[in-house]
Chains A and B, each alone.
Chain A
Amino acid sequence: EDKVVQSPLSLVVHEGDTVTLNCSYEVTNFRSLLWYKQEKKAPTFLFMLTSSGIEKKSGRLSSILDKKELFSILNITATQTGDSAVYLCAVERNAGNMLTFGGGTRLMVKP
């Protein structure tokens, strides 16, 4: 059975801090790993990672995948209160496009 484990479960930081969120996985026929941000409603897409060691970057957010050690990290630098959300990691198999989600990391950024 596919498994995705995220840590920490929750995190409270102050504006300006840098945070690192972790995601480890076990999946048969791995295809990609995705990060989503969920505020109050629907998860919104952040990154899709398919290759090891290649950093993906979007503004203050960046992510990298290690397919040998089966994990990914999501970094957020200079955090802002608007970064407060649940960050979800999901893995996708080669067949079927279906996603298995981790439990999420709840990030709270205080002013």
Chain B
Amino acid sequence: DAGVIQSPRHEVTEMGQEVTLRCKPISGHDYLFWYRQTMMRGLELLIYFNNNVPIDDSGMPEDRFSAKMPNASFSTLKIQPSEPRDSAVYFCASSTTSSEAFFGQGTRLTVV
């Protein structure tokens, strides 16, 4: 398996634009997590899914953030409209009930 695949690897966008981050979890993993990492706040859980269903989105900072998982092999995290303070590295991770979480390579988002 190629591991958790995220795209794009880097994204630079202007304030106010919509940003969509994508994630393909490891096949067979039934948990998917979206994390955000900044120098100030470290790694924070934004939302996670179990069997494609959102379980806990209490970490989503604002209504500008939304996440979907239409099927077991794909998830998106959307920010609309984006703001400079959203600049961070966004990680997707997946796991099974009994395994550790495996992380993707991350998407470095810069909002100017």
Contacts and interface: CB of A to CB of B under 8 A. Distances in A.
Interface of A: 34, 36, 41-45, 48, 88, 90, 96-104
Interface string B21-58: 00000000001010000000011110010100001100
A42 B56 CA distance: 22
28 contacts: A34-B100, A34-B101, A36-B103, A41-B105, A41-B106, A42-B4, A42-B103, A42-B104, A42-B106, A43-B43, A43-B103, A44-B103, A48-B100, A88-B43, A96-B50, A97-B31, A97-B97, A98-B33, A98-B45, A98-B48, A99-B33, A99-B45, A99-B101, A100-B45, A101-B42, A101-B43, A102-B42, A103-B42
B95 interface: yes
Contacts of A90: 43
B102 A45 contact: yes
Contacts, number: 46
Contacts of A100: 45
